[in-house]
Structure 1
Amino acid sequence: MSENIRALLVGATGLIGRTVIARSPDLRGLVLQALARREMKFPQGARIELVLAPSEEWPNVVQQLSPEALICALGTTRRKAGSNEARREVDHDLVLEFATAAKEAGVRNFVHVSSVGADRYSKNAYLQVKGETEHDLKALKFHRLDILRPGLLRGRRENDIRPLEALGQMVAPMADMFLSGGKSKFRSMRAPDLADAALQAASSKAGGQFIHEHDAIMRLAREFQRALAVAEEAE
């Protein structure tokens, strides 16, 4: 991993954000900050600075903090947002407003958590918005843009009951065995693996635009985990 990189996490209160924060005691050479609208309970041992601000002030906060890397785990559901339009305000408009401010602030690495199947031409409203967001992020031309497209995430959410997702998590390990070849991108993954992949992308030096589906996400995660193991052995 690169040395002395300051990374900002947005979407800290969700499953992905909390899992990234849980990794903070293990990080080497990566200084992690989180941006949120409200106070949150950190996992035990977490080492992270939490910056509180209403979402409309986030672009200004990003410019003030001026991190080298940014992990965007923003997202909502129609049930929580209330409508497709309200969900779009978060999944597209807020993400793009935030990313534009990041670009202007000199952020080099932008990591965005999207979804498997994202396609701006999709007839599915959720996947269409995800695809449009990806398309517009590419146009900003960050030094490095990593778009992560996970399938079903396996992990415990805080104060967010999703019965169908919980059922899916139960059957996912068995279902994954039947997803091979071109269907492997739909395999589920553990939230910690996605978090490790995001941290690896945030700390990578090489430039370019990258879309990572299941297998590529897992490669990033393993690279991050190997780097941590090497650092621990060297201590």
Structure 2
Amino acid sequence: MASPSLVVGSTGLVGSHILTTLLASDSASAVHTISRRAPKPASPKLHSIVEADTTQWAAKLAAITPPPTTVLSALGTTRAAAGGIANQWKIDHDLNVELARAAKQAGVRHFVFVSSAGTRGLLANRVPYSQMKTGVEDSVKALEFETAIILRPAVILGRRETAQPGGDFFAGLVSGLAKVFGTGLQDMMGQEAEVIARAAVHAARMAEAGEAPEKFWVLESSDIVRMGRTEWKD
């Protein structure tokens, strides 16, 4: 049965692929977005809310009627784009947590969050970026959604609208190594944005059908490749 979804971060690299995947799928009866600028795709199923003031996003989510069955968040920024680590924290951590709480209060059943690989590594608690992602993961888990799904991709591969010097360098490195040593190496070190998006949608479909293997379900890089490419059915 088709159900309504909400995508946050729909204008970013992974989020834009989540949005187009959902719009092309019969599993979504309606797709809502909340963003600072309008997403590019056009579809009768798309209901976009454009709000420059992110402090209003939680209220905008709460006002969606009927509430979405699933919220998928690929919301995130970079330190450079945000203007410093404190501002990045407000988006990557605080806003994601606020939206997750608003989703739970609104009656959303499933929450999907695109996190990052290495968030639970030995030195992760000393790395601000990992601290942000870990904080969101823990908050989502504590909210007791019917299903909470966490994706932890490695280097995200794909063409971004805005260049990210560090990220683009590593993405290029991974892609270059893959040409020499094969896609197996790439699958361990990085995943295509489209594959990550498909894995997120696939997992959401399973959760909505009552087929999620766990209440708090974590997809690591190998799981993302399997669900987003090997097992993906358009």
Q: Does 29-38 or 87-96 show the bigger shift?
A: 29-38
Q: What TM-score do you get using the length of structure 2 for normalisation?
A: 0.84
Q: What corresponds to 1:147 in structure 2?
A: 150
Query: Which residue is equivalent to 1:35?
Result: 34
| Aligned equivalents of 2:44, 2:101: Cα separation in 1 | 29
Q: 1:10/1:215 Cα in 2 relative to 1: closer, same or farther (>3 Å)?
A: same
Local SS of the residue matching 1:225: coil
The alpha carbon displacement at 1:23 in A equals 2.2
Residue in structure 1 matched with residue 218 of structure 2 by the alignment? 211
How far 1:47 sits from its partner (Å)?
Answer: 5.3
CA distance in 2, matches of 1:132, 1:186: 24
The 1:100–1:82 alpha-carbon spacing in structure 2 relative to 1, beyond 3 Å, is: same
Letter in 1 for 2:141: K
Deviation of 1:80 (Å):
1.1
Aligned to 2:92: 91
The secondary structure found in structure 2 opposite 1:118 is coil
Residue 13 of structure 2 is aligned to residue 15 of structure 1: yes
Deviation, 1:28, is: 1.2
1:166 corresponds to: 168
SS of residue matched to 2:148:
strand
The CA distance in 1 between the partners of 2:54 and 2:12, in whole Å, is: 15
The separation in 2 between residues aligned to 1:117 and 1:35, in whole angstroms, is 28
Moved beyond 4 Å, runs of 4+: 44-47, 176-180, 183-186
Counterparts of 1:185 and 1:214 in 2: how far apart (Å)? 7
Matches within 5 A, 1:183-198: 186-198=188-200
CA distance in 1, matches of 2:173, 2:45: 34
- Name the SS of the counterpart of 1:211 in structure 2: strand
- AA aligned to 1:171 is L
What do residues 79-127 of structure 1 show as CA deviations (whole Å, max 9, x unaligned)?
Answer: 1112221111111111111000000111111000000011395211111
What 5-or-longer segments of structure 2 have no aligned partner?
none
SS at match of 1:122: helix
Is 1:127 equivalent to 2:117 in the alignment? no
Q: The residue matched to 2:102 in structure 1 has which SS?
A: helix
- RMSD between superposed Cα atoms in Å: 2.5
Structure 2 CA distance, aligned partners of 1:178 and 1:46?
A: 40
Deviates more, 1:82-91 or 1:17-26: 17-26
The residue number in structure 2 matching 1:221 is 228
Moved more, 125-134 or 23-32: 23-32
Q: Assess if the C-alpha contact under 8 Å between 1:193 and 1:221 holds in 2.
A: yes
How far does residue 45 in structure 1 lie from its aligned partner after superposition? 7.0
- Identity of paired residues, percent? 30
1:232 paired residue number? none
Structure 1 gap ranges (5+): 229-235
Distance 1:154 1:46 in 2: 29
Structure 2 distance, partners of 1:184, 1:21, is 24
Matched letter for residue 68 of structure 1: T
